[in-house]
Amino acid sequence: MKKAKGLIAFISAVMLLCVTSAIGAYAAGGNADEGTVISGEGAEQGEQGEQEEPELIDIAGADISCTAKLVYDGTAKAPEVTVKYKGEVLVKDTDFTVKYTGNTAVGTAKATVTGIGRFTGTAVKTFEITAPTVSAPAKLRCTDANIHIIVMRWNTVTGADGYQLQYYDPANKIWTGTKNISGKSGYYKYDNSAFAVGTTYNLRLRAFKTVGGRKFYSDWSTAYGTTDPAAVTGIKESSANEKGYTLSWNKAQGALKYEVLRWSPVTGKYEIIATVSTNKYVVTDRTPGQKNTYKVRGIRTVTGNSTVFHGALTSFKAAAACSKVTGIKATARQGKVTVSWLPVEKANGYEVYYTDANGNNPVTLATVNANTRTYSTTKLKAGQKYKLKVKAISKYGTAVAKSKYPSGVLLRVFENISYNTVLDNYYSQAAITVDNGHGYVIPQYLKNNLNYHLTKLGGVVSFAMLDLDSGTLIASNGKYYMGTASTVKMPFMLYCLNEMESGWPTLDTTMTYTAQDYHSGSGIIQTYNYGTVLTIRDIINTIFDYSDNIGYYMLQRQFGIDGYNKFISSLGCRVSMNYSNRWGYICATDSCKEWLKMYEYFDKGKYGTFMRNGFAHSCASNFRRGIGNKYTVYSKCGWTEDLHHDTAVVEAEHPYVLISFTNRVSAGRLMEIAQAADAIHTDMWNYFLK
């Protein structure tokens, strides 16, 4: 109001100056007629006096308003301003003007109102420019991982232009590793070499919008993520048995637990069979020799997340132990130890080894393939006792499972002295003697018992018992020769077999029964008609079943006697057969040599199995009757009006040849001789192995 009063005073002064000037002009030379006449209205105004102009209104007293908050969108904000003065709405640019400042960025802006016309002065009205709203990402979570990768997912934020991801470094206590993620995806594969294997990290994520070249962020969302544990290493199998084994492995870095998977041939995939918190798993549901493939991996979980994070799968092949080996037999003959056994299902091989007599200090002799059933060695020291053992091996991949084993076969290794040397060096005498006995002496009561049955009916007995494992010979009149009776049919068949090894004739070659073959006595062919056609197999069977004399003559016609004499001589036996004496002579030690060759033929000959079966069931064996079902007895006996013989290999645990030629007929006597001889044989081996 002071400025308004000053203006009025100024105008009054100017008007006064003008009036004074007019009066001065009149006084200088004018007159009333020529000058200005003040009358009428002017006179009235002069009479009324000077009027004041109205005062200007200060705009600060007005009621000023505008929008209080505006959202920043990158443009200058100029909200409309309303000005009221005592209820009157003032007009912009007539009553006031508006100038905006600070209205191009987020924050507090100003609208400055300046009065014009009848208003004067200024007033300031503030308003807020707020940042654009960005929602925080929801359901932030870790969904996958690798050893240096954490995969994060979240629900996308509407309107967001991207996201920012960080993880917390607990060592330095800072949020770091910032990743700005452009685009609208709710997925990020966070690959960071700083991530440790199998480690849990706290991660946070926020969304952003870019407005006017500026980024505006949401609040942070946080969640735990993890890298995968390291791959499992060092898987191995131990403690294998017929029902399973223990799988163990090195602890994997970062693994909280482990999953064990096994391949299922039913489903055609690996299936989880166990989740364990230690680095081993015991398998107990397998069958003997069963082979399976496994995979093992470490796993982790994180707080607030049901996802299981897996390390890499590591494969392993495992095998259950096979059933124990059965049927183990061992011989130690002439310095050579031979072990045999029965096959084991699913075995990939066998381990042959020995221990001392007490089962201690095992030493592996050999590992053989699955098709092998026997093993021989000369490495064991003569004069020592050993237990020979065999384990079945089940192999799959690197896993090797060995079967549990029986107690083993106890044997003693003897010096390498040939059977023929023992037999040839024997000095024949009526007394019962022991040759190559390795210190064994027959107890007197057993010797008396055998001697009683040898001499029971009087006459002479050529007796020999040759143990094949020790080479021990027990004999009486062992080189006393007498007629062969039908025992000669065994070595003659052996000769025929030897001839057939070349491929002709064969067991299926035919012969026709003729009158020149006829012979009385034992047999079945004599009941056939001349002209009957028989195979050599048929003929040999008649000898097994009936001790057939005609069959014997037919073989002589086919193979000849001269060849037989050469063959029998090659065995170290006395030649005593010719066409006038088609039976010859024999003693116990020569018969031993013949049976040694036949017993060898059982295993090595072309028709070995056929001959083994035949002699195991041959007719009229008194030795077999005397020993009973205790052992298998391969026998060929013979008898006439004056002779009663039996010859055999007794397949005891330690086989032996048993020969008894008697010139006093008695079947019962031969049975008793067999029993007495077997009692001595048992006692002898008790001595050897004690």
DSSP bridge pairs for 446 = none
State the Cα angle at 220 between 165 and 172, rounded to 5°: 60
pLDDT of residue 572: 97
| Percent of the chain whose pLDDT exceeds 90 | 86
| Residue (of 489, 476, 474) closest to 620 by Cα position | 489
Report the pLDDT averaged over residues 196-219: 94
pLDDT at 32 over 60: no
pLDDT at 9 over 90: no
Report whether the peptide linkage leading into residue 343 is cis, meaning its omega lies within 30 degrees of zero. Answer: no
Report the pLDDT averaged over residues 362-366: 95
DSSP state of 323: P
Q: φ, ψ for residue 234 (rounded to 5)?
A: 70, 30
Q: Which run of H or E residues covers position 115?
A: strand 107-115
Q: Are 296 and 261 in contact (CB under 8 A)?
A: yes
Residue 180 Cα distances to 132, 161, 190, 195, angstroms: 19, 11, 11, 18
Report the pLDDT averaged over residues 51-60: 83
pLDDT in tens, 119-178: 999 999 999 999 999 999 999 999 999 999 999 999 999 999 999 999 999 999 999 999
| Percent of the chain whose pLDDT exceeds 70 | 92
Beta strands in 147-301 (DSSP E): 149-155, 162-169, 174-182, 187-191, 200-211, 214-217, 221-226, 236-241, 244-248, 257-264, 269-276, 280-283, 291-300
Q: In whole angstroms, what is the distance from residue 117 CA to residue 6 CA?
A: 17
| Residue (of 264, 260, 195, 201) closest to 232 by Cα position | 260
What residue type is assigned to position 57 of the chain?
A: I
Q: Are 271 and 264 in contact (CB under 8 A)?
A: yes
Cα dihedral 149, 150, 151, 152 in deg (nearest 10): -150
pLDDT at 475 over 50: yes
State the CB neighbour count (10 A cutoff) for residue 505: 16
Q: φ, ψ for residue 333 (rounded to 5)?
A: -120, 125
Place of tokens 């069963």: 290
Q: Are 330 and 409 in contact (CB under 8 A)?
A: yes
- In which band, very low, low, confident or very high, does the pLDDT at 183 lie, cut at 50, 70 and 90? confident
Sign (positive or negative) of CA dihedral 42, 44, 48, 54: negative
Report the pLDDT averaged over residues 101-118: 95
What residue type is assigned to position 641 of the chain?
A: E
- In which band, very low, low, confident or very high, does the pLDDT at 39 lie, cut at 50, 70 and 90? very low
pLDDT in tens, 384-407: 999 999 999 999 999 999 998 887
The average confidence (pLDDT) of the chain is: 91
pLDDT at 16 over 60: no
pLDDT of residue 50: 57
pLDDT of residue 405: 82
* Three-class secondary structure assignment of 525-579: HHHCCCCCEEEHHHHHHHHHHHCCHHHHHHHHHHHCCHHHHHHHHHCCCCCCCCC
- In which band, very low, low, confident or very high, does the pLDDT at 232 lie, cut at 50, 70 and 90? very high
Q: φ, ψ for residue 493 (rounded to 5)?
A: -65, -35
Q: Which of 19-23, 412-416, 465-469 has the highest mean pLDDT?
A: 465-469
Beta strands in 42-102 (DSSP E): 57-58, 63-65, 69-71, 82-85, 88-89, 96-101
Q: In whole angstroms, what is the distance from residue 620 CA to residue 636 CA?
A: 8
Q: Where are the alpha helices (DSSP H) in 30-55?
A: 40-48
Q: In whole angstroms, what is the distance from residue 105 CA to residue 365 CA?
A: 93
pLDDT in tens, 647-663: 999 999 899 999 999 99
User: Which residues have CB under 8 Å from 550's CB, separation 6+?
Assistant: 513, 517, 518, 519, 523, 525, 526, 542
Q: In whole angstroms, what is the distance from residue 316 CA to residue 314 CA?
A: 7
Place of tokens 């908050």: 69
pLDDT of residue 404: 86
pLDDT at 83 over 90: yes
Q: In whole angstroms, what is the distance from residue 524 CA to residue 527 CA?
A: 6
DSSP state of 673: H
pLDDT in tens, 563-619: 999 999 999 999 999 989 999 999 999 999 999 999 999 999 999 999 999 999 999
Question: Which 3 state secondary structure label does DSSP give 157?
Answer: coil
Q: In whole angstroms, what is the distance from residue 413 CA to residue 335 CA?
A: 6
DSSP bridge pairs for 176 = 167
- In which band, very low, low, confident or very high, does the pLDDT at 2 lie, cut at 50, 70 and 90? very low
pLDDT at 15 over 70: no
Task: Using the CB atoms, write b or e for 545-569: b if 16+ within 10 Å.
Answer: ebbbbbbbbbbbeebebeebbebbe
Residue 82 Cα distances to 118, 574, 660, angstroms: 17, 150, 146
Q: In whole angstroms, what is the distance from residue 205 CA to residue 210 CA?
A: 16
